[in-house]
Amino acid sequence: MDSLEGILDEIARAGDEHLDPGYVAEYDRKAAFAADAVEEVQLLCGLGLEQGSTLVDLGAGTGTLSLAAAARCRRVVAVDVSPAMLRATEEKAAALGVSNVECVHAGFLTYEHRGSPADFVYSRNALHHLPDFWKALALRRIGLILRPGGILRLRDIVFAFDWLLEPMLERAGFQISEAGYGSRRIYAEYLCMKTDESAGPIAVD
């Protein structure tokens, strides 16, 4: 996979609060994502997540989804640009005795997947940190992480950006199998399947 490191400073765009250990310490209480994450894992299990699966959580934050998924699959990779978020994930994993969650300090544009291709990629409330052009590249890179038939679960703030995000997903080689929008269309949830193996390497000159 081509390295895009240095082209866009993902840490600078990550939101200062996500880098702040004080904010991170309060994140789980404020985000209140734990129960929702369990439902999300159930959804993924219904789509084939099982003991042999690999799941990559991009913009994993404090690892709520990663840790909820860990017991249901073989390997979870929690990826985030924030060292404080990753530390929180590691501490929670250690406290829970979870050993199959790997924390990787990287972003959408720099994460280099190793090992067998992922069966699932999950990303919640993180992609919006990238400007639009870079979102398209990030989606292409996600396509390269996933095996054919692999599933992307994407949830994010879209601000009526779905008209642009959806063609981006399709151009990145995904088929959108389900799309849900909040009543004000500022938030969207997608289930996508990687279908197009021809979405080749990304060239950034």
Residue ranges binding ligand SAM (CB under 6 A) = 10, 14, 18, 31, 33, 58-61, 64, 80-82, 85, 107-108, 124-126, 129-130
Smallest distance, ligand SAM to C-beta of residue 120, A: 14
Identity of the residue, 28 or 170, whose beta carbon is nearer to ligand SAM in the bound complex: 28
Smallest distance, ligand SAM to C-beta of residue 92, A: 12
Identity of the residue, 43 or 149, whose beta carbon is nearer to ligand SAM in the bound complex: 43
Smallest distance, ligand SAM to C-beta of residue 87, A: 11
Question: Helix/strand/coil (H, E, C) string of the chain?
Answer: CCCCCCCCCCCCCCCHHHHCHHHHHHHHHHHCCHHHHHHHHHHHHHCCCCCCCEEEEECCCCCHHHHHHHCCCCEEEEEECCHHHHHHHHHHHHHHCCCCEEEEECCCCCCCCCCCCEEEEEEECCHHHCCHHHHHHHHHHHHHHEEEEEEEEEEEECCCCHHHHHHHHHHCCEEEEEEEECCCCCEEEEEEEECCCCCCCCCCC
Smallest distance, ligand SAM to C-beta of residue 68, A: 11
Amino acid, res. 128: H
Residue whose CB is nearest to ligand SAM in the complex, by number: 61
Identity of the residue, 107 or 150, whose beta carbon is nearer to ligand SAM in the bound complex: 107
Smallest distance, ligand SAM to C-beta of residue 203, A: 20
Identity of the residue, 111 or 174, whose beta carbon is nearer to ligand SAM in the bound complex: 111
Identity of the residue, 83 or 117, whose beta carbon is nearer to ligand SAM in the bound complex: 83
